[in-house]
Amino acid sequence: MFKRYRLEGGIERFATAVFYGIMRRMGIYDEKIRELTGVKNVYLLDETLRNALRLSIELLKFRDLSNKQKKLVRSVLAGEIRTRSHPYASMFFWNVWDNLKNLDFTPKSREEELMYRYYVSKFYITKLIDLLGEEEAEEYLKKINQPPPISLRVHTLKGSLEEVKRELDRLGLEYRVSQRVPTVIKVFGSLDLDRFKPFKEGKVFPQEEASAAASLLLDPQPGETVVDLAAAPGGKTLHLADLMKNKGKIYAVDINEKRIERMKELLRRGGVKIVDLFVMDGREAPERLGEETADRVLLDAPCTSSGTIQRNPELRWRLRSEEDILEFVEVQRELMEAGWRLLKPGGRMLYATCSIFREEDEENVDWFLKNHPEARLVPLEKPYDPGFLPGTMRAWPHRHDTIGFFYALMEKKD
């Protein structure tokens, strides 16, 4: 955008700061816009008006502008609204300008205080307090507002931990090898992956520690048949092949054709030969692959990704209601049923999500066990903490320095 509009003279840094300021505080701004306009859902407002209001609040409340600059902003934005939408919208914006300057950001509740301090929706904060209690919830919120390290998993089909450590030492980078997943290295500071030799050679791939732990918990063996039921972007498929020493068969299924195409390159660079890729809805897999064909099934289910906010700041304001959770639950349960049909008697299925919400985690597993008396929960005791359902496990950002993750390992009785 800077190139397209030929923005020069230091405006890039200011514009970037404003953009990220709005992204970080967008939910707060939208609350204030609702108060100002009386519109329950800000997305019912004209798009240009909505974004002009967000930008105006950022500039008026969080940037040190002179009166002359403020008048210029008002004039330019009103003109943009008039050009892009409707004169009435422009008139409305002009009329509410003074009210924007006088908006009160004093929190009216404890949840709102935490929202202002940590930039996460009140809904998310309420759910978090219900899970952890107020004191520990704040520790969690502090953690997800800190910059995360770069997490890399060594791909042992092509490289070794010592090779990667030597290259990081040569670059003078600080790093720490994970104690829970010994092929994961956490790098602190700036690392250009595209120029990092082990990455170019397929010896390391970006993967969070908690994500890599899922494949270890499933524990696939060389020569087995494994189904990765929601495989893209491919990090776990690659890890499964690594653990299986490139022997056996992995069926990797995902509904997104473009992500499957990217997986082909990932697997090629990793030297993986045992994966067959399928573009399809995982719920259709038993019909396509055959029932009771898999020794093991990995279901890292599509979810709200509520445990990944530290790495995905756009989620801070997207999760606003129970409906945002429940729309995933039905699909998760249907995928669990499909995975179970794929599994041989005596086989194991790992159900995992990168969500912290009970509805997507323990409640789904409890529902599944009640509907499948032939399912046995295999107790998980390490490397993380017990879940809220005995035998399940959870990783937490503030406790384990990784993304939030949930695991449940189930065995189909013979």
Q: Strand pairing of 249-254 and 275-279?
A: parallel
Answer yes or no: do 397 and 282 share one domain: yes
Answer yes or no: do 249 and 370 share one domain: yes
Determine, yes or no, domain membership for 274.
Answer: yes
CB 152 within 8 A of CB 168: no
pLDDT confidence of residue 303: 97
Answer yes or no: do 198 and 260 share one domain: no
Answer yes or no: do 132 and 13 share one domain: no
Determine, yes or no, domain membership for 329.
Answer: yes
Domain CATH for 215: 3.40.50.150
Q: Strand pairing of 204-206 and 150-154?
A: antiparallel
Answer yes or no: do 130 and 167 share one domain: no
Domains in the chain, number: 4
Q: How far is CA 221 from the centre of its chain?
A: 29
Non-local CB neighbours of 287 within 8 Å, separated by 6+ positions = none
CB 406 within 8 A of CB 213: no
The label of the residue with tokens 């997207």 reads 318
Determine, yes or no, domain membership for 50.
Answer: yes
Q: How far is CA 389 from the centre of its chain?
A: 23
From first to last of its 414 residues, the chain has per-residue pLDDT tens of 777 766 666 677 888 888 888 988 999 999 899 988 989 889 999 999 999 999 999 999 889 889 898 899 999 999 989 999 888 899 999 888 988 888 888 998 998 999 999 999 999 999 999 999 999 999 999 999 998 999 999 999 999 999 999 999 999 999 999 999 999 999 998 899 989 999 999 999 999 999 999 999 999 999 999 999 999 999 999 999 999 999 999 999 999 999 999 999 999 999 999 999 999 999 999 999 999 999 999 999 999 999 999 998 888 898 888 999 999 999 999 999 999 999 999 999 999 999 999 999 999 999 999 999 999 999 999 999 999 999 999 999 999 999 999 999 999 998
Distance CA 110, CA 284 (A): 46
88: how many CB neighbours lie within 10 A of its CB? 12
Determine, yes or no, domain membership for 106.
Answer: no
Answer yes or no: do 378 and 273 share one domain: yes
72: how many CB neighbours lie within 10 A of its CB? 12
Task: Kindly list the catalytic residues.
Answer: 354
For the chain, the residue count is 414
Answer yes or no: do 230 and 282 share one domain: yes
Query: What does pTM read for this prediction?
Result: 0.90
Determine, yes or no, domain membership for 334.
Answer: yes
CB 37 within 8 A of CB 100: no
Determine, yes or no, domain membership for 266.
Answer: yes
How many CA atoms lie within 13 Å of 62's alpha carbon, on the beta-carbon side? 19
Answer yes or no: do 237 and 189 share one domain: no
Answer yes or no: do 331 and 364 share one domain: yes
Answer yes or no: do 165 and 116 share one domain: no
State which residues form the domain around 303: 210-412
Answer yes or no: do 83 and 162 share one domain: no
Answer yes or no: do 229 and 278 share one domain: yes
Domain CATH for 168: 3.30.70.1170
Determine, yes or no, domain membership for 311.
Answer: yes
Q: Which of 347, 356, 354, 410 is nearest to 388 (CA)?
A: 356
> φ, ψ for residue 66 (rounded to 5)?
-75, 165
